[in-house]
Amino acid sequence: MDKRIDTITPTDAVSLPGLFYKRVQRSKDAVAYRYFDADKEKWLDLTWGEMAAEVARWKEALKRENLAYGDRVGLMLRNCQHWVMYEQAALALGLVIVPLYTNDRADNIAYIAQHADLKVILFDTEEQWLALKESLDQFGNVKRFVSIHYIKDPSEPRLKPRSEWLPESAPPLEQPTIDKQALASIVYTSGTTGRPKGVMLSHNNILSNAYACSQCEAFYTSDQFLSFLPLSHMFERTAGYYMPMLVGATVNYARAVDKLAEDLQTIHPTVLVTVPRIFERVRNKIKDQLEHKSPIARKLFNMAVETGWLRYQIKQKKASWHPRVLLWPLLNVLVAKKIMGKLGGRMRLAVSGGAPLTFEIAQMFIGLGLNISQGYGMTESSPVVCTNRLADNEPASVGQVLPGVQVKLGERNELLVKGDNVMLGYWQNEEATKETIDADGWLHTGDVARIDGEHIYITGRIKEIIVLANGEKVPPSDIEMAIGNDSLFEQAMVIGEGKPYLSALLVLNREHWNELAAELAVNANDTAVLNSEKVTSAVVSRIAAQLSNFPGYAKIPRVYCMLSPWTIEEGLITPKMSLKRNKILEKYAAQVEELYAGH
């Protein structure tokens, strides 16, 4: 692997379009992006020079819309090269980017369009257009809708397909003159309660954060990133888009999450920006496969993980040498190398964020030879606050603070953050801004933490604590995460506020439910048996097995099971897959009442 380092500093870049311009100057003929062309049925490359020519066309098209400096423009795209072209063109004109979730509800998109006063919206498919049309009367200030695919709608003169909107050619890009403190993006957080808030991020917020991330490990111009987390989330945008641009790496756009396994085999990425759910799915698949293999195969797998973890502990100077590590070369060939091959075979770093990664899953993958660095952040901090360094990696923690970022513990051990990465505030919401950023400039995260040496540990949410009738305080997310380690459970919500004990609302995985039903000799297609005594007893036992290491309060004696997943469309989860607890409680109020009947 070529280990050339060519990082652009924020001082050189000044702004986000300035960064793009500098990267084009330095790496004109290098491959910037790789994507799959469905028509040609093959992967295609785009160099930085080719990207610059395309950005110039998009810039000219936006210019012709006669927008004012600071106007907001939206984009509702899956990850692709067009995202970059549109965003860079808009930013170079001093416009403000507002990402829209591709899977969000039409009324939420309409709310954001009105609240941010969007002037142009770029979207992808006819399906999205039909969704937008449901609330078209609420898009009064939008001057132009642009579709990536060719869509015509005689009833809407503002709609133009990309092929007709873009000019054939445009003047070459010039070095932009955008102030680093200028507003670059408004990112609406998918709140679990109430309407989403628009987080205002400056060019300097995002640029300083991406640069700080790039300083945590060595990144090379030969690195290959595989981009699949939505670019509408700041985690992917900062770590999987701007950081690769800073270091001159190539970004490969995955075709879809359900094709991720194939794309890993094709692209052979060296760096993956990901979320715990991906590791959970891979782990569950491995567990399922092992159940159908011989006891020897299972023993070999466990030996590989244990030996690999011991090697890792020795390397981290947390354990002394043991002769068992001499087995590693054999176990690596028989077990670990095969699993790493499924991840592309040359991944040297997987950055996990967006949600907590359980220690057991991290331990398994690290034991098999994958370098996982768990980090932590929030949209309001652009978003990364801290991440583990591979030289001092404590998987149970969310790592050490980024260069240039300060942290401290406030009241009730709330994690507070200060630095260039802290947002400007919430769009048109001074009250919420004052509640979140105090007079001294500290961002209040709402997360409870402890700091041990240089490592930060997130231990709960201030507002997401269940207080039982006996006064016991219970963090539900930790328990829900543990329950999710069993493949039977697709979604889980722990409840019990003001009650004598905890209960859980559970969505079962259809395939694993069929297996459990067969074991219990009940009809899997009869939904009535889901909450029969026989089934709930078995489910409670499986949950107890997952919670065996938890304190005494984490007992769940009552459950309500279902097979229909909680969806964004129903308003039960956010686009980030966070539970809308109040909405779920509202929908299943009768079932919750039954769980506590007579107690």
Query: For residue 209, which of 380, 445, 25, 6 has the smallest C-alpha distance?
Result: 380
Query: For residue 559, which of 586, 585, 533 has the smallest C-alpha distance?
Result: 533
80 Cβ contact list (under 8 Å, min separation 6): 35, 148, 253
303 Cβ contact list (under 8 Å, min separation 6): 327, 331, 335
- Gap between the Cα atoms of 365 and 545, Å rounded: 22
- Gap between the Cα atoms of 436 and 198, Å rounded: 13
Q: H or E element: which one contains 484? A: none
pLDDT of residue 599: 65
pLDDT of residue 190: 65
Instruction: Count other Cβ atoms within 10 Å, centred on residue 424.
Output: 19
* Residue 443 bridge partners (DSSP): 417, 437
pLDDT tens digits for 38-76? Answer: 999 999 999 999 999 999 999 999 999 999 999 999 999
In the structure encoding, which two tokens stand for residue 566, read together? 């909680």
Q: 2 by DSSP, 3-state: which?
A: coil
In the structure encoding, which two tokens stand for residue 322, read together? 């043991």
453: left (phi over 0), alpha (psi -120 to 50) or beta: left
Percent of residues, the chain, with pLDDT higher than 90: 82
Instruction: Count other Cβ atoms within 10 Å, centred on residue 524.
Output: 16
pTM of the model: 0.85
- Gap between the Cα atoms of 160 and 153, Å rounded: 9
Residue 58 phi, psi (nearest 5): -65, -35
**What structural domains does the chain harbor?**
11-178+232-239 (3.40.50.12780), 466-595 (3.30.300.30)
pLDDT of residue 276: 86
Q: Residue 29, class by beta-carbon neighbours within 10 Å (0-12 exposed, 13-18 middle, 19+ buried)? A: exposed
pLDDT of residue 191: 58
Q: Residue 168, class by beta-carbon neighbours within 10 Å (0-12 exposed, 13-18 middle, 19+ buried)? A: exposed
DSSP, residue by residue, 302-350? HHHHHHHHHHHHHHTTSS---GGGGGHHHHIIIIIHHHHHHTTS---EE
DSSP, residue by residue, 134-150? TTGGG-TT--EEEESS-
Q: Where are the beta strands (DSSP E) in 102-258?
A: 118-123, 144-147, 159-161, 183-189, 197-202, 224-227, 250-253
Low-confidence ranges of the chain (pLDDT < 70): 190-194, 471, 551, 553, 599
- Gap between the Cα atoms of 225 and 232, Å rounded: 17
- 3-state SS of 147-162 is ECCCCCCCCCCCEEEH
Query: For residue 138, which of 105, 161, 104, 115 has the smallest C-alpha distance?
Result: 115
- Gap between the Cα atoms of 582 and 107, Å rounded: 19
pLDDT of residue 5: 96
pLDDT of residue 277: 82
Q: 122 by DSSP, 3-state: which?
A: strand
